[in-house]
Amino acid sequence: MTNGSRELRRIGIVGMGYVGLTLAAALARKGYEVHGVDSQSAVLDSLAQGRPHIFEPGVEEVFGEWVGKRIFLYPELPDNGVDAAVICVSTPVEQAGHRPYLDNLAAAAEHIAKRCSPDTLVVVRSTVPVGATRSVVLPRLVEAWGSARLVMAPERTIQGQALRELVELPQVVGGLDEDSLALGVELFGGLAGQVVPVSDLETAELVKLTNNCHTDVIYSFGNEVARLTEQFGLDPLEVIRATNLDYPRPNIAKPGYVGGGCLSKDPYILLSAAADAGYVPPLILAARQVNEDTPVHVAGRVVDLLDEPRGKTLFVLGWAYKGWPPTDDMRGTPIVSMMPVFEAAGVRVIGHDPLVGPEVIRAHGGEPVDLRDGFAAADAVLVITDHPEYRELDVDAVLPGSNIGLVYDSWRVLDGDRVTGHGVRYAGLGYERDAR
């Protein structure tokens, strides 16, 4: 072992979704012995063969090298327990009411209580409401053991850069008591260059929620600017560039879609916890509403700009929730809220994504096609993500001879002058001057 202590050598990770998967890879690279647990046999089978079920740069190489050596995969934690057990299960919000669903968290705590001992350091890595580590996880451990070593250490990475950020970002750790905190600092000190101890479990929980809610608010303001420029007939990118240039105040974000596994749910987790405490944060709620309305608004604008849309074909480029850093993650993807608008208008949707498979595009109501066939078949194009492949798209090669009359370039990654040079309308988020 190259890093970490002898006491915390064997690390169990309960939940091999995105958070658990990337943490397992990062710990294995640091020399830890990792025991990954998941309830889905297909996930375990794929990982056991060194094939991650989620795209993240570098993870496949780590699993290919260390499965069976430092990384072991099971439906349960080992019989002889682990030194530290990290909870990385999903904590989604319910569709109706947006309340957090914490049954997975409770089940993970019960599993650890059954398979481990009071000497095991238990780490909550999942995003949870303020107070959930203490109210959901701790009682299950204490009931089984009488006492517990427990910390909350939130995951704060961005997809596409997780392995680097797990090492470079400060790791925040809040403990149940001084003994727990010391062990948590020791564990994450073996992973990252900087550890930030905080006073308790709840502070660590709120750190993660504050990070993501702040990001959601920042992005929502860029989207609000785009709605204004759309009404005033201005260019949001010009406004934002001039606003930001050498101005010593926080930058305005470029307008765009806000999704993913965190930003689409974490504001609701905080809103729920805050409401239970007697306060509903109006800014966080409004920001989430602006960001959720953005794809619906765009879909409506595309339909309007098509004129007589019924029976027309729309080519959608980008089905994952974002294009940079590239990902295949469909959580919080804008296409989900756009499709009902297109279906109601009678628009046929065909689609392409460099990382999202054809079966996923079909499952979301689209017909998968390659780029050339898509441009040949479409009446309009909607670019949803800023994937590098779309940034490099040669419009001079795909537009001539097509029936395309509209390109709605959400992130403005194409050359608008070249598009309009082919007699095609060009529009984007908050930018419709060529479409008027």
Q: Is the pLDDT of residue 1 over 70?
A: no
Model confidence over 49-94: pLDDT tens digits? 999 999 999 999 999 999 999 999 999 999 999 999 999 999 999 9
Pull the structure tokens for residue 171: 């790791």
Model confidence over 423-433: pLDDT tens digits? 999 999 999 97
Question: Minimal CA–CA distance to 338: which of 308, 290, 295?
Answer: 295
Q: Is residue 396 part of a domain?
A: yes
17-44: b or e for each residue (b if 16 or more CB lie within 10 Å)?
bbbbbbbbbbbbbbebbbbbbbbeeebb
Q: Is residue 280 part of a domain?
A: no
Provide the residue range defining the domain that includes 61. Answer: 10-200
Angle between the 103-115 and 138-145 helix axes, to the nearest 10 degrees? 20
Q: Is residue 244 part of a domain?
A: no
Domain end, chosen from 139, 172, 200, is at 200
Q: Are 183 and 53 contained in the same domain? A: yes
Residue 201's alpha-carbon distances to 2, 101, 208, 345, 394, in angstroms, are: 29, 19, 12, 49, 52
Q: Is the pLDDT of residue 6 over 90?
A: no
Give the pLDDT of residue 120: 97
Model confidence over 397-412: pLDDT tens digits? 999 999 999 999 999 9
Residue 432 — φ and ψ, nearest 5°? -135, 25
Q: Are 150 and 298 contained in the same domain? A: no
Is 261 in contact with 331 (CB distance < 8 Å)?
yes
Residue 123 — φ and ψ, nearest 5°? -120, 125
Pull the structure tokens for residue 283: 């800014």
Kindly give the residue spans of alpha helices, DSSP state H, lying in 307-411.
335-344, 358-363, 371-377, 388-391, 395-398
Give the pLDDT of residue 2: 38
Distance from C-alpha of 391 to C-alpha of 385, rounded to nearest angstrom: 10
What CATH number is attached to the domain comprising 300?
Answer: 3.40.50.720
Percent of the chain with pLDDT over 70: 98
Domain end, chosen from 200, 220, 235, is at 200
Model confidence over 107-132: pLDDT tens digits? 999 999 999 999 999 999 999 999 99
Q: Is residue 239 part of a domain?
A: no
Q: Is the pLDDT of residue 4 over 80?
A: no
Q: Are 329 and 191 contained in the same domain? A: no
Q: Is residue 271 part of a domain?
A: no
Q: Are 37 and 174 contained in the same domain? A: yes
Q: Is residue 215 part of a domain?
A: no
Model confidence over 315-367: pLDDT tens digits? 999 999 999 999 999 999 999 999 999 999 999 999 999 999 999 999 999 99
Relative to beta strand 171-175, strand 149-152 is antiparallel
Q: Is the pLDDT of residue 241 over 50?
A: yes
Q: Is residue 269 part of a domain?
A: no
Pull the structure tokens for residue 185: 């600092």
Q: Are 73 and 173 contained in the same domain? A: yes
Q: Are 164 and 305 contained in the same domain? A: no
Domain end, chosen from 200, 228, 254, is at 200
Give the pLDDT of residue 7: 76
Model confidence over 353-397: pLDDT tens digits? 999 999 999 999 999 999 999 999 999 999 999 999 999 999 999
Average pLDDT, the chain: 96
Give the pLDDT of residue 326: 94
Distance from C-alpha of 175 to C-alpha of 153, rounded to nearest angstrom: 9
Between 297 and 81, the more confident residue is 297
Q: Is 133 exposed, middle or buried (0-12, 13-18, 19+ CB in 10 A)?
A: buried
Q: What is the pTM of this model?
A: 0.93
Q: Is the pLDDT of residue 217 over 80?
A: yes
Question: Minimal CA–CA distance to 85: which of 59, 129, 117, 53?
Answer: 117
Q: Is residue 146 part of a domain?
A: yes
Question: In the predicted model, what is the mean pLDDT of residues 137-159?
Answer: 97
Q: Are 51 and 188 contained in the same domain? A: yes
Q: Is the pLDDT of residue 275 over 60?
A: yes
Q: Are 181 and 78 contained in the same domain? A: yes
Give the pLDDT of residue 433: 73
181-216: b or e for each residue (b if 16 or more CB lie within 10 Å)?
bbbbbbbbbbbbeebbbbebbbebbbbbbebbbebb
Pull the structure tokens for residue 88: 């990385």
How many distinct structural domains can be found in the chain? 2
Give the pLDDT of residue 434: 53
Percent of the chain with pLDDT over 90: 96
Q: Is the pLDDT of residue 436 over 80?
A: no
Q: Residues 194, 183, 111, CA angle at the centre, nearest 5°?
A: 115
Give the three-state DSSP class for 263: helix
Q: Are 321 and 195 contained in the same domain? A: no
Q: Is the pLDDT of residue 230 over 90?
A: yes
Q: Are 80 and 193 contained in the same domain? A: yes
